[in-house]
Amino acid sequence: MYARIATAVVAAAAMMGAGALLMSMADTQPSDTHTVAAGHTSPVPGVGTASARTPGAGRTPGAGRTTPVVLAHRGASAYAPENTLAAVDRADALGFDWVENDVQLTRDGVPVVVHDTDLRRTTDAEQVFPDRAPWAVKDFTAAEIARLDAGSWFGPRFAGARVPTLDRYLDRIEHNDQKLLLEIKSPEIYPGIEKETLRVLREKGWLDRDHVEHRLVVQSFGADSVKKVHQQRPDVTTGFLGTPAVADLPSYTAFTDQINPSYTSVSTDYVKAVHALKGAHGKGLRVNTWTVDDAANAVRAAGFGVDGIITNKPDVVRGATG
């Protein structure tokens, strides 16, 4: 989704995995969550008991809160490789319900969780497939992507992590009893990605009433993509990534429930303008802003009245705003 923060301190060892095609042996157990029962975690070393699920953390972002909901960007991506299962588990260990991810399609049409439209930055694709420049996600099959190391770039302890399929990613979110802000990435590159993403969500049970009402938001920078999701599944909560002009906001209310702008483009007046309108489901439009990683800007964003803050460092933002 957004530009990643500078190199982070690796906070915990984690095992990784991927979907049916991308699953490694290490995927048989969750990583570094100190799990005591499915969906429940004990306090993490260095994080006090207050780090367990925080009040309101299980609600849909922006649902009547004065303190913003904190959403872990690509998982807790300051502490584990972004968009991997380890990042999901790290967010869970820190006590965060909501995680954000990015979905793209492989050459054979399998939804995979990865941010960049090429594989160079976060995998060893250049080494494994030296003759496949520019290493675009769309040019590789799921089986080929399953061969790639998606963790070593972040730190040696994550060597062997895999790019997860959406299927496997949803399994981990479900295991952790977490909630998902799912971004359809670069939809102009992937005709039919909305239908395929919804198909996987449906097959994994994520389009039942409970998930749709409480645990899932689908967003995109592409307005047409958000419209397609709304048309195909009108019950799903949707978000538009960006900062439309105030005068244009009413045109978004027919197909979206959230306007999710960059932190650098948001203000108190803008948030008020969004909140003054009702979205596709007849409720007030919500605002989740990105990407805020320091305490001072977290406090400032909360002061704007945003409903949620998307961050690589969810613990830092919670400490500043909670």
CA distances from 98 to 71, 108, 160, 196 (A): 5, 29, 25, 22
Q: Is the dihedral of CA 281, 263, 164, 142 positive or negative?
A: positive
Question: Could you give the C-alpha distances from 163 to 101, 114, 206, 279, 308, in angstroms and in order?
Answer: 12, 7, 21, 34, 27
Helices marked H in the chain — which ranges?
Answer: 85-94, 125-128, 142-145, 166-175, 193-203, 209-214, 223-232, 249-252, 268-275, 295-304, 314-321
Token pair of 36 as six digits: 């005591």
Name the β-bridge partners of 105: 111
Residue 211 a catalytic site member: no
The answer to whether the beta carbons of residues 37 and 175 sit under 8 Å apart is: no
Give the residue from 306, 274, 103 showing the smallest Cα distance to 195: 103
Q: Which of 40, 115, 211, 275 is catalytic?
A: 115
Please confirm, yes or no, whether 115 is among the known catalytic residues.
Answer: yes
Selecting among 34, 73, 211, 281, the annotated active-site residue is 73
Residues with catalytic roles? 73, 115
